[in-house]
Amino acid sequence: MTTTLRWLGHATTVLDLDGTRVVTDPLLGRHAGLLRRRGGQPRDTDWSGPDLVLLSHLHHDHAELASLRRLGEVPVITAPANAAWLRAKGLRGAVGLHEDAWFRAAGVQVRLVPAVHGHRPMPHRPNATNGHLVRSGAVTIWVAGDTEPFAAMADLAELAGAAIDVAVVPVGGWGPRLSGGHMDPVQAAEACRVVGARLAVPVHWGTLHAPASRRLPPGWMDRAGPAFAAALAHHAPGCRSLVLQPGEQVDLGAGLGRTAP
């Protein structure tokens, strides 16, 4: 059975876990509000047919309604306030999970975990934030969502009931300066050390930019991923970095030294 992760850019990943497909924070088109995507939009074949969608919060670069609707009526796992808002927008599959609850789909289990992302609250959407823990028979994954460092990261393995095999962590943004509620490459590397992850995939970098980005320092979009890999080698040498380009896929089982049965 396959255990793969494909990064589609920004915070969107596709996890194929023993026959169950999970999509995180789907952004499938060319733009997110005023923000522009560098490069082509994801191929339909890379994300089609999901069994679950994980949604961290309702900022437009993570909860883009047109993208969510393209995925069909599948469960969208998020905080209760966010789920109620999504259902009011016609996304009837939205599921609001409460603390300590696990959602099960085929061989995959998902629960919400904390995230601290209170900067720039929106007046027209709920502002609940969360990350996710994903367990399958092969791997345990922490999908951090947008967050700044917080003390309870040290408790994630206990919440998962297993060691964290893979951390999917944000390392940048859509400009060279990060606003509050995010992690830079060094903070993300330290987070991977704290949770004890064995593999780490940096996301939330190198994809979106504001229309005025031509006036920003050259090359800023390409720095965060390599900077995270260097920081991880220093702060968490026991954790291996998997720096992808949009559209690239990795075999998580092989990265963890496991072979398919």
For the chain, 261 residues long, give each residue's pLDDT as a single digit of tens.
689 999 999 999 999 999 999 999 999 998 888 888 988 899 999 999 999 999 999 999 999 999 999 999 999 999 999 999 999 999 999 999 998 999 999 889 999 999 999 777 788 999 999 999 999 988 999 999 999 999 999 999 999 999 999 999 999 988 778 888 899 999 999 999 999 999 999 999 999 988 875 677 778 889 999 999 999 999 999 999 999 999 999 999 887 876 444
Kindly report whether the global pTM for this prediction surpasses the value 0.75. Answer: yes
The predicted structure's pLDDT at residue 255: 79
| Bridge partner list, 17 | 3, 20
Task: Give the C-alpha separation, 121 to 128, whole Å.
Answer: 10
- The pairing of strands 108-113 and 131-135 is antiparallel
Domains and CATH numbers, the chain: 3-248 (3.60.15.10)
The predicted structure's pLDDT at residue 98: 92
The predicted structure's pLDDT at residue 261: 41
Task: Give the C-alpha separation, 245 to 236, whole Å.
Answer: 22
| Bridge partner list, 200 | 167, 241
Task: Give the C-alpha separation, 185 to 169, whole Å.
Answer: 9
Token readout for 34 is: 């005023």
